[in-house]
Structure 1
């Protein structure tokens, strides 16, 4: 089992724009970071939609879906995505939400469940690994959650989909992560017109 983090990111390191709110989940000006995903056939299938582009980008997204058996995310990502995902979220797996506010597990259509974990990142990961079986656990975000797992040395593989856009400001994935130093082994680089897909494996 592998613990992954798989994120779309701007060329200047932003995974969201400034002013992220419940009504503006991607932040201001962050459309290019996410819009390319919404055109892909594999993404649209997960949304119950027909059509879309079936290309190398779509294959990589489908690879993530197929390999992931559980997801961990922060409370802000959950709260900003909840309305967008609706009653049939695209995860199709157990999702464990880091929070300080206990609440009952939510069961959604399509196999997605949201379990709210109040006792820290390691406990959330333990529960996700138990639920994932022999598939991967993905640390989905947001940026602060990924940084916490990076700082604890708990992520095995990092895949970044680098979009050819500069946001100028926003939530930067590695902001404040300068003290975290681990060796990275390049695993794969895939160039497409939509993004450059970089996969790295962390050394021990």
Structure 2
């Protein structure tokens, strides 16, 4: 069976994956882009944008694991768009005509709508579903490849709570946000279900990898 993976998911020292006050011009609220500056400096990010340059090293290596072997993605409504996007029937996501996913993407929302086929192989499907139901649909669409959980923190927390995540890469960024949406709430003793490794890098971030223990 294909694995369920999380990659490049950045959190602050106090566990927030997004700040307060999310809006169309502030998708991560008051956090701005501070949670992701480590990634913007990598060769992986430069190559994603069709440019040359960027840093190598561990940050690049971890970031580049995001794509290979992924056949479908599941994301929460908050990643697909800012608060209120469900009221705009013409809204097609924040990534333009050719989103970077190039796979089927399943958006979890209490207000489903017809699927949207985009350029480059991305099709957005909108589901009002439990984590288990969404994963079943994504696995069918993934064609034997792995399923990536794209965030935000609330939906990843729901999948973790149900024991559905096989591999998770969390990047702890040395900032304090104080408010927003935390990843770890309600996940007491999660460490008992995972083998955890930590790698620190010169950029100041710590890469935490969680690999599910096989029972």
TM-score with structure 1 setting the length: 0.88
Q: Paired residues, what number?
A: 202
Q: Deviations over 1:129-169 (max 9, x none)?
A: 11222322111111110111111111111211111222222
Q: Secondary structure at the match of 2:68?
A: helix
Structure 1 counterpart of 2:142, from 108, 128, 132: 132
Displacement over 6 Å in runs of 4+: none
Match of 1:196 among 198, 206, 209: 206
Alignment of 1:57-136 (within 5 A): 57-80=59-82, 84-136=94-146
| Mapped partners of 1:68, 1:54: distance in 2 | 24
Q: How far apart in 1 are the matches of 2:193 and 2:93?
A: 38
Taking only aligned residues, the RMSD between alpha carbons, in angstroms, comes to 2.2
Distance 1:189 1:92 in 2: 30
Residue 113 of structure 1: how far off its partner (Å): 1.4
Give the secondary structure class of the aligned counterpart of 1:154.
coil
* Paired residues of 1:30 and 1:167 also in contact (CA < 8 A): no
Residues 15, 183 of structure 2: 8 Å contact kept: yes
Counterpart check, 1:18 vs 2:20: yes
TM-score under structure 2 length normalisation:
0.84
Shift of 1:52: 3.7
- Answer yes or no: is 1:50 the counterpart of 2:51: yes
Cα shift at 1:180: 5.9
Shift of 1:181: 7.0
| In structure 1, C-alpha distance between the alignment counterparts of 2:171 and 2:190, rounded to whole Å | 21
8 A Cα contact 1:189 1:197, kept in partner: yes
Change (3 A) 1:87 1:52: farther
1:179 deviation in Å?
7.6
Unaligned runs of 5+ residues in structure 2 are 86-91
Aligned 8 A contact 2:46 2:54 in 1: no
